[in-house]
């Protein structure tokens, strides 16, 4: 079992880029595999989660060739052979690993096929709610059985079905649910509409547009006509702002620091973290250098003495994955930070309200837990502790950042899980811990397979 050993830093001066966006990589594998030709995907995230989705598409007939690989992890640049919406029956059950996004999006894709399929995942994924997709997909005519030990959970047995379009009002603001319904809608005759209670990340809509599949968004209702053929295209995945968030918090909370994160996704449905850190007192500039499709740019951040803030209700879906590390920033800031309306955190890879609260308390922070969030009274110096990630990648990384500000040694247990979203995190952590400043120290080694 691997672990991170972290001690306090006094300096952070660095410029680097983080691996590709997880959400976009899942979607690029799926839409590339459905398209009518060959697509080159660059900067694909070679994480376990996304590689599982790529392999799922292979099992459904959409093979790929690896052009470049991130050494020790998986494909970064690849060519995927689209199947013109005609998938073939998988020979075996499909492993989604730890990925809620992979399982929910693939369930949407598979709901309207003429063949049966089975999706399974690890222990964490097998305890996450799947009713949020099986209910609306069922309304479309899908026949999905949840056969998990826990009610409404994976494995999913998906029987052949012919789908009808629906108008669905989602009870939770979830991009995974929205995307599962839209993918199913591509195989239904007529107009499928999904209405979200609040804005969620819009990568599916943007990527469908890149593949020339039209969708229409009116307020929070997204509609799509089934039967459209995705046209093959090339797609470069920007760096994942949710991975960048760990270093942005580290730099924000360290007065005198300067960090430049390059070529990162700046989609406005994902950048609330930047607003929150600015509100807390960090100095930041964003320079966008691509605005078409998915906005991409550089973020430069300078540290400051941070102050607490209140996370607004409508910001929560935008920064749901960043809340663990925002809680760390809050513990380092002066005053109170209030995070409410975030009950969804309880059904992530771990119950992230409990894992964050317990980890922060173990390090000496003052935290009150609520059913839907927490209140953190920052400013009490953190001390090193042993913190278990419980197999949750974002918990492992958030507490590695906390360790950079704690007196004494922090040991994070059970850290292999970071590979589900950030292969190379340990390499970047090592460079930061040793206060390295050269760009080369942050470069992750790649191997060409062409």
Q: Which residues are catalytic?
A: 321
Find, among 66, 25, 12, 23, the residue nearest to 442 by Cα. 12
The answer to whether 199 and 220 have CB atoms below 8 angstroms apart is yes
Q: 3-class SS at 303?
A: coil
**Residue 32 C-beta: closest distance to ligand S3P, Å:** 16
Alpha-carbon dihedral sign for residues 185, 186, 188, 189: positive
Measured torsion, CA atoms of residues 30, 419, 8, 438, in degrees rounded to the nearest 10:
-70
- Which region among 173-181, 205-213, 297-305, 365-373 touches ligand S3P (by CB under 6 A)? 173-181
Interatomic CA distance for residues 330 and 328, integer angstroms: 5
- Which region among 43-51, 111-119, 169-177, 220-228 touches ligand S3P (by CB under 6 A)? 169-177
321 counts as binding ligand S3P under rule CB under 6 A: yes
320 counts as binding ligand S3P under rule CB under 6 A: yes
**Residue 116 C-beta: closest distance to ligand S3P, Å:** 25
Q: Both tokens of residue 291?
A: 């605005």
Q: Which is nearer to ligand S3P, 81 or 178 (CB)?
A: 178
* Peptide bond preceding 155 in cis form (omega within 30 of 0): yes
Interatomic CA distance for residues 26 and 130, integer angstroms: 18
Q: Which is nearer to ligand S3P, 124 or 179 (CB)?
A: 179
The answer to whether 173 and 317 have CB atoms below 8 angstroms apart is yes
Q: Both tokens of residue 47?
A: 């994480």
Taking the CA of residue 431 as centre, how many other CA atoms within 13 Å lie in the half-sphere pointing to its CB?
A: 18
State which of positions 249-308 bind ligand S3P (CB under 6 A). none
Q: Which is nearer to ligand S3P, 201 or 206 (CB)?
A: 201
Site size for ligand S3P (CB under 6 A): 10
The answer to whether 92 and 56 have CB atoms below 8 angstroms apart is no
Q: Which is nearer to ligand S3P, 362 or 418 (CB)?
A: 418
State which of positions 191-210 bind ligand S3P (CB under 6 A). 201
Q: Which is nearer to ligand S3P, 410 or 421 (CB)?
A: 421
The contact mask relative to ligand S3P for 344-373 (x = CB under 6 A, - = no) is x-----------------------------
State which of positions 68-127 bind ligand S3P (CB under 6 A). 101
Of positions 23, 43, 210, 415, contacts ligand S3P by CB under 6 A: 23
Find, among 277, 283, 285, the residue nearest to 255 by Cα. 283
- Which region among 44-52, 170-178, 231-239, 268-276 touches ligand S3P (by CB under 6 A)? 170-178
Of positions 176, 309, 337, 410, contacts ligand S3P by CB under 6 A: 176
- Which region among 174-182, 252-260, 324-332, 372-380 touches ligand S3P (by CB under 6 A)? 174-182
The answer to whether 208 and 235 have CB atoms below 8 angstroms apart is no
Cα 443 to the chain's mean position, in Å? 22
Interatomic CA distance for residues 283 and 274, integer angstroms: 10
Of positions 98, 124, 146, 174, contacts ligand S3P by CB under 6 A: 174
Residues that bind ligand S3P (CB under 6 A): 23, 101, 174-176, 179, 201, 320-321, 344
């Amino acid at each position: 079992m691997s672990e991170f050993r972290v001690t306090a830093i006094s300096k952070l001066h660095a410029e680097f880029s983080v691996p590709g966006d997880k959400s976009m990589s899942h979607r690029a594998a799926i839409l590339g595999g459905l398209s009518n030709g060959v697509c080159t995907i660059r900067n694909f995230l070679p994480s376990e989660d996304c590689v599982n989705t790529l392999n799922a598409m292979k099992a459904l007939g959409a093979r790929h060739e690896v052009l470049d690989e991130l050494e020790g992890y998986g494909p970064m640049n690849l060519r995927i052979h689209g199947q013109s919406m005609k998938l073939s029956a998988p020979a075996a059950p499909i492993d989604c690993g730890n990925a809620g996004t992979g399982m929910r999006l693939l369930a949407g894709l598979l709901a309207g096929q003429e063949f049966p399929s089975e999706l399974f995942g690890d222990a964490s994924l097998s305890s996450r709610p799947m009713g949020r997709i099986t209910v609306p997909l069922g309304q479309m005519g899908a026949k999905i059985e949840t056969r998990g030990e826990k009610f409404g959970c994976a494995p999913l047995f998906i029987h052949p079905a012919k789908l009808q379009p629906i108008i669905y009002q989602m009870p939770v603001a979830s991009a995974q649910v929205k995307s599962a319904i839209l993918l199913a809608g591509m195989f239904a005759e007529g107009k499928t509409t999904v209405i979200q209670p609040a804005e969620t990340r819009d990568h599916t809509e943007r990527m469908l547009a890149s593949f020339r599949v039209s969708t229409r968004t009116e307020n929070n209702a997204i509609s799509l006509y089934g039967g459209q053929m995705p046209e093959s295209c090339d797609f470069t995945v920007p760096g994942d702002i949710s991975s960048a968030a760990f270093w942005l918090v580290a730099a924000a909370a360290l007065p005198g620091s300067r960090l430049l994160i390059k070529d990162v996704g700046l989609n406005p449905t994902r950048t609330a973290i930047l607003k929150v850190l600015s509100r807390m007192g960090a100095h930041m500039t964003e320079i966008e250098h691509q605005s078409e499709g998915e906005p991409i740019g550089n973020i430069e951040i300078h540290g400051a003495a941070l102050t607490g803030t209140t996370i607004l209700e409508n910001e929560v879906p935008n920064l749901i994955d960043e809340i663990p590390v925002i809680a760390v920033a809050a513990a380092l800031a002066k005053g109170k930070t209030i995070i409410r309306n975030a009950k969804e955190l309880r059904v992530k890879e771990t119950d992230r309200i409990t894992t964050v609260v317990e980890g922060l308390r173990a390090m000496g922070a003052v935290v009150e837990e609520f059913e839907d969030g927490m209140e953190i009274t920052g400013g009490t110096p953190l001390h090193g502790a042993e913190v278990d990630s419980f197999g949750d990648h974002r918990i492992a990384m958030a507490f590695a950042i906390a360790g950079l500000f704690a007196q004494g040694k922090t040991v994070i247990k059970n850290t292999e899980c970071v590979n589900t979203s950030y292969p190379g995190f340990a390499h970047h952590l090592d460079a930061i811990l040793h206060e390295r400043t050269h760009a080369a120290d942050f470069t992750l080694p790649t191997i060409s397979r062409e």
